[in-house]
Amino acid sequence: MNERPRDRYRLAGVQVWHDRALFIVYAASAAGLAAAGVLGVLAELSVPSSWRLLGRGRGSVSRRFSRHGLGAGLVDEVERRLSGAAEASEAGVGDELPDRGLAGLGAQRVAARLGQGVRDAHQGRAVVVDALLARRGERIHPASAFLASESRHLEGECAEHDLHMFAAARRMDEILISNFMVFSDLVADEHYDLWVGDEAWDVDYFLHENPELKRAPYAWLTDFVGWLPMPDGGDSEAELTADYNAEMIEQIGRFPRLRDRAVFVGNPGDVVPDRFGAGLPPIRDWVGQHYQFAGYISGYDPATVADTAAIRAELGYRPDEKVCLVTVGGSGVGADLLRRAVAAYPAAKRLVPELRMIVVAGPRIDPATLPAHDGLELHGYVHDLYRQLAACDLAVVQGGLTTTMELTAARRPFIYVPLRHHFEQNFHVRHRLDRYRAGRRLDYQDTEPESLAQVIAEEIGRPVSYRPVEIDGAARAAACLAELI
């Protein structure tokens, strides 16, 4: 493999060595490691021998995996099968990690739990997942150093809480082609018995264009299907998204068996009711014909944070205070929402005297760049953030699926503010949250200090009646892929 400038490339690549099978998982984000969790289950189901999982943050095959909390639930299933009982992880789904893929911005947080959640689970079975935390001593595939950075591209495309995801995706061909070639070089040089693409859009696209490159069974996972136009994009954007969708439909129709398994991480009702475009089929009908449904794979087991009183005491939250947690994930695109929340704090404190606001900037936003107020807590990276999300009285977040579904599973009230022009957050995620009757959506223009403070006062501590989030998604996903081993 030719040398490439390392400062331009991102982490990826997961390998699972087994005495009878060798798997590769490729996903351009930490969520891609979800598939690694599936592979762990498959290894245990198929060949009860020793095995080792080696990986690194952004995971394994694909272009834009920023997908959501798929991995940790799968890891829990690995633990359950290997040791007989899932154990609480030291690292959290909520950890803010520095790498970020093309779409779902909350997904990166899954990698940390993957790294810690599956270690030496059973006699002789060594499992190591590098979750972008070098302190854990995990190993990565050397090819990981050659993956191009999608995060920097997205941050360069973002305006004030505004990320036109479709347009950004159309302008990153060089990154996608480069990353596919990393994958292609790897699988040409090394043999694998199974490829798993967790929203590996680049790999999936180029494999369909070059089916002769497929050398092993190939499984595909995703939690959304279909590019959708933003209303202000007019007829031009509607035509472009329809064209992208039509090309995908044509690829699948031309090579229907290239994907040996296609798994939708969710349920049929989670698929949006829209059409792929004028003259194209309804998305839900088409997905029902071409995918198997695993149910949602939670980023963590809600049972591990069920005792919120104990967690609050451990975190130092007093019984008489109401905790509002503000977080925007691990990328730099959420700084404007953080500033809005900080600006709203004084007015919110007047409305809710017992308010305690904790702002988590993540690894890419310097907390020192945010305004300070007496009583306001500002943090950068926070370890095990998912526990704080599960114990807070209110969360203010962006519109990514992972974080919002974590809050839904934990049955916590939350306010979510989708990035403007981010079609996935505004359509796909919103549709799913509406089904779960979860969260209160705000447009960014409605987050001026006084307005946001009023909504915080209305929502904090509010009883919720969310639809329960299923807990068997990991096992169902593994069952879908087990026949490929």
In this predicted structure, the answer to whether residue 410 has a pLDDT above a threshold of 50 is yes
The CATH number for 445's domain is 3.40.50.2000
When pLDDT is cut at 50, 70 and 90, the band that residue 329 belongs to is confident
Do 281 and 317 belong together in one domain?
no
What is the chain's Cα-based Rg?
21
Among 123-127, 255-259, 343-347, 447-451, where is mean pLDDT lowest? 123-127
- Measured CA to CA, the distance from residue 254 to residue 203 in angstroms comes to 17
pLDDT at 47 over 80: no
Examine the domain organization and report whether 314 and 293 are in the same domain. no
**pLDDT at position 299:** 67
| Secondary structure of residue 95 in the 3-state scheme | coil
For the purposes of burial, counting CB atoms within 10 Å of the CB of 17, is it exposed (0-12), middle (13-18) or buried (19 or more)? middle
Over residues 230-236, mean pLDDT: 96
Do residues 208 and 339 share a domain? no
Judge whether 405 and 69 are in contact, CB under 8 Å.
Answer: yes
As a whole number, mean pLDDT of residues 422-448 equals: 97
Q: What is the mean pLDDT of the chain?
A: 76
Dig out the tokens for 482 from the structure.
């087990």
In a domain, 464, yes or no: no
Beta strands (DSSP E) in 27-81 are 51-54
Query: What value does the mean pLDDT take over residues 186-215?
Result: 90
Same domain, 435 and 477: no
Q: Give the residues across from 263 on adjacent strands.
A: 221, 292
Residue 64 lies in a domain: yes
Strand-pair category, 377-379 with 355-360: parallel
Residue 45, pLDDT score: 45
- Do 24 and 60 meet the contact criterion of CB atoms below 8 Å apart? yes
Query: 383 and 318: one domain?
Result: yes
Number of domains in the chain: 2
Q: SS3 sequence, 431-470?
A: HHHHHCCCCEECCHHHCCHHHHHHHHHHHCCCCCCCCCCC
Does 465 map to a domain? no
Whether 75 and 203 map to the same domain: the answer is: yes
Domain of residue 248 covers 6-300+472-482
Please check whether residues 231 and 157 belong to one and the same domain: yes
Is residue 126 located within the same domain as residue 235? yes
The whole-number pLDDT of residue 25 equals: 55
Q: Quick check: is 386 in a domain? A: yes
Angstrom distance (rounded) from CA 323 to CA 304: 20
Query: At CA 63, angle to CA 426 and CA 35, rounded to 5?
Result: 90
Please check whether residue 222 is in contact with residue 107, taking contact to mean a CB–CB distance below 8 angstroms.
no
The per-residue pLDDT for range 273-313, each reduced to its tens digit, is 999 999 999 999 999 999 999 999 876 777 788 899 999 99
Q: Are residues 295 and 310 in the same domain?
A: no
